[in-house]
Amino acid sequence: MAFLVRSLLQDRVACVESLLEVRLTPWTSEGYLRGATGPLARIFHWLISTGRTPWIDRSVRVALLLIGLELVVGIVHARWCGSSIVLSELVLSLYVPTLGVPQPNAEGTYLIVNKTLIEAIAVVVLLAFDTGRIAGLDLLLRKRRGSV
């Protein structure tokens, strides 16, 4: 349980980081996508070669910001949990951790399970327990409509 709470707190930190990236830092995903080796790597290599990196960067920033804010605020919870799962699995499919040996610039040694997969599982738990009925704006909206 503590691991899930820590993972969810990391999502909130990612939300703040993405907000700061949108406003303050010139960040690009080009290096990350160029080094991709997973099943979707060819698609993203093609997108980079056609000059769509700025579009990808903006999309990632906006998606992280919206998903992170929703997880903090808690409105239209199921839809945003689904979006979070899709984004996590997209990132996971670019770099599937199958080596199990230390990698340069990596946060640890992973074999199949990495922090992205754990975060996706944590969001599945949020979705399964329908935490929008427990806390957040979804709860307040239900109370207002009288359907709690």
Task: Return the DSSP state at 96.
Answer: -
Lowest mean pLDDT among 5-14, 68-77, 103-112, 122-131: 5-14
Burial label, 84 (beta-carbon count in 10 A; 0-12, 13-18, 19+): buried
Q: What's the rounded Cα separation, in Å, for the pair 37 and 134?
A: 40
Confidence (pLDDT) at 50: 94
pLDDT of residue 35: 85
Contact between residue 17 and residue 67 where contact means Cβ atoms under 8 Å apart: no
CA dist 126 and 59 (Å) reads 24
The pLDDT of residue 86 is above 60? yes
**Predicted pLDDT at 94:** 87
At residue 74, the pLDDT reads 75
| Element containing residue 8 per DSSP (H, E) | helix 2-23
Phi and psi at residue 111, in whole multiples of 5°? -135, 105
Distance, CA of 61 to CA of 21 (rounded, Å): 7
pLDDT for the residue 2: 55
Of 2, 1, 4, nearest to 119 by C-alpha is: 4
Q: At residue 114, does pLDDT exceed 90?
A: no
